[in-house]
Structure 1
Amino acid sequence: MNFRRLKYFVKIVDIGSLTQAAEVLHIAQPALSQQVATLEGELDQQLLIRTKRGVTPTEAGKVLYTHARTILRQCEQAHLAVNNVGQTLGGQVSIGLAPGTAASSITMPLLQTVRAELPDVLVYLHENSGAVLNDKLLSGQLDMAVLYERSPVAGISSQPLLKEDLYLVGTRECPGQSVDLAAVAQMNLFLPRDYSAVRLRVDEAFSLRRLTAKVIGEIESIATLTAAIASGMGVTVLPESAARSLCNAANGWMARITTPSMNLPLSLNVSARGSLSPQAQAVKEILLSLVSRPALENHELQLVS
């Protein structure tokens, strides 16, 4: 396989259009189509499905896309590593963050520390759900991601960071510093969709206690969730760091769920299919040092040994 063809193929899939990809790559569309045809001939597989709306990868195309992203990224890392020999580390490091995690509290310290210690490194921060972040790690679009991990993911190497207790957050009729799950079952709940780590943990706890949650809305956006809780229409369940943030924004209260006690493990994930670039490894070490600082323990987070 030709390195240039792989680069063309990845760009076509990213953009979803041969015409637009040709413009971005500064190559005539017929020539680009021929490059794809040659690649398909080499692999004896159809890689793209062409429609009036653009192009989408076939199943074989999806497999090649994942490997091609990894290959291209490794080549880029090799080039940077060679250029950085004897020089100050530079280049981009991309980090995924699940919204509302404890990692959000170290975003500014991370940027400040990297700026001070690695001035030629550009940090790219991307917020999204855990499932999306893992997909981007596998496709080579992210170097690392901090998220709540409930189970092992194929192709992902996960390093435990800490655990966060789950709290109930609301603005009316505070139940006190702690609350029983049976009492939560009587309240109107706003929760994320059932694929999120928080929702899976909450559903699991209700199921084990043979209780039924009164879910009146499913909300992904922290801003929208804050508005919903501030309105007094219902309550929500969040990890402590996110609970504190929402509680302050909505001028509400938070109560630890104690019967049963519930927590979520926060992990640092990287792709198991390749190694980190020198600059990404350096940023990872800074991130780990920040997570382990006593400042985070002040929020009663349980560090994972």
Structure 2
Amino acid sequence: MDIRRLQAFVKIIDLGSISRAADLLNIAQPALSQQLATLESTFKKKLVIRSKSGVTPTAAGSDLYRHAQTLIKQLDRAMTEINLGSGPLVGKVSVGLSPYSAGSTLSVELLRLVREQLPGITLHLTESFDDIYSELVMTGRLDMAVIHGAGPMKGVVFTPLMKEEFFLLAPEPLELPCSDTGSVQLQDIVDIPLLVPPSHNFVRKSIDIAFVRKQLKPRIAAEIEALLTLKDAIVDGLGSTILPWSVASRIVVPGKSKIWPLHNPTIHEVVSLCVPEMIPETEASLAVRDLLIGLAKAMASSRNWPGTQPSL
């Protein structure tokens, strides 16, 4: 098995086109098509479906794509470690951070610690609403990810880091009925416009479940993925939102917006670290993982993060 054929196959699937992959790899298209035919002959399976719009992987092609990514990444790691020997830890470590969670709040501090303690490591941080981080970790495209609402899944291992309670972030002039402790009930905000993440986000799912369990229907005014837009919209009085403290505290504007605790019910979610089950972790990724776990412990134990509790 030629690793270059696997690399070419991955590029074909990534681009969805044999011709575009040939141009990018600087290979004649007939030669690249022959490499694909050789792979199909080797595995005795059809790997792609060709159409006028490009190519898509078959079930067998998807399996090969996943394994090929793992093999290519492991080979790259092996070459880096062998070439650099036993010196300081080096290499690239990729970390996915779930938007609207403590993971995104940890990112800058993680970057600072890696630069101070592991200067030979290049940290790749990504924060996206569209990517399914557990799948990227499973295939080796990410070394680890910090995500909400993790559960058992073949191919990855989840380690709970902390439990986050959700709070209401609303315009300062908004008058709300509060308890003696200054908290707000879910039924008291059912008529106010809410600005929330899209439905596939775990923060949104937790919000929806809380309203359903109380047999309430929230007034969703807009779905917003950009924190700066959300911050400005709340300041302008266009709506309120429900977020973990780690996120709400980043976009609250004193005198313009305010954070209220929620009760009856409280809304909370577990934040977990996701790592691959079958792909060996490098020394560099293990070192970064230790730093990340340490940061999460410190955050969850700090009095500066209300509603956040350790889960380790």
TM-score (norm 2): 0.90
Q: CA deviation at 1:89?
A: 1.3
The correspondence of residues 148-297 of structure 1 with structure 2, limited to 5 A, is 148-171=148-171, 172-175=173-176, 176=178, 177-248=182-253, 251-293=256-298, 297=302
**Could you tell me whether the CA contact under 8 Å between 1:81 and 1:278 is conserved in 2?**
no
Aligned residue number for residue 12 of structure 1: 12
Aligned residue number for residue 28 of structure 2: 28
**SS of the residue 2:252 aligns to:** helix
Aligned residue number for residue 101 of structure 2: 101
Tell me how far apart the structure 2 counterparts of residues 294 and 25 of structure 1 sit (CA, whole Å).
Answer: 45
Change beyond 3 A, Cα 1:174–1:284: farther
Change beyond 3 A, Cα 1:264–1:131: farther
Q: CA deviation at 1:294?
A: 5.5
**Could you tell me whether the CA contact under 8 Å between 1:150 and 1:197 is conserved in 2?**
no
Counterpart amino acid of residue 215 in structure 2: R
**SS of the residue 2:290 aligns to:** helix
Q: CA deviation at 1:282?
A: 0.9
Moved more, 148-157 or 202-211: 148-157
Aligned residue number for residue 141 of structure 2: 141
RMSD over aligned Cα atoms? 2.1
**Could you tell me whether the CA contact under 8 Å between 2:299 and 2:305 is conserved in 1?**
no
Moved more, 234-243 or 149-158: 149-158
Change beyond 3 A, Cα 1:32–1:131: closer
Change beyond 3 A, Cα 1:164–1:295: closer
Q: CA deviation at 1:6?
A: 1.0
Q: CA deviation at 1:104?
A: 2.6
Q: How many residues align?
A: 305
Could you list the runs of 5+ residues in structure 2 that have no partner in the other structure? none
**Could you tell me whether the CA contact under 8 Å between 2:194 and 2:219 is conserved in 1?**
yes
**SS of the residue 1:124 aligns to:** strand
Q: CA deviation at 1:117?
A: 1.7
Taking only the aligned residue pairs, the percentage that are identical comes to: 37
Select 1:304's aligned residue among 305, 308, 311. 311
Tell me how far apart the structure 2 counterparts of residues 192 and 90 of structure 1 sit (CA, whole Å).
Answer: 37
Counterpart amino acid of residue 205 in structure 1: A
Could you list the runs of 5+ residues in structure 1 that have no partner in the other structure? none
**SS of the residue 2:112 aligns to:** helix
Aligned residue number for residue 80 of structure 1: 80
Q: CA deviation at 1:185?
A: 1.6
Counterpart amino acid of residue 270 in structure 2: P
| Runs of 4+ with >4 A deviation | none
Moved more, 156-165 or 42-51: 42-51
**Could you tell me whether the CA contact under 8 Å between 2:90 and 2:121 is conserved in 1?**
yes
Give per-residue Cα distances to partners, 1:199-255, cap 9 Å, x unaligned.
Answer: 221121112211121222222222332233223122111111111112239931111
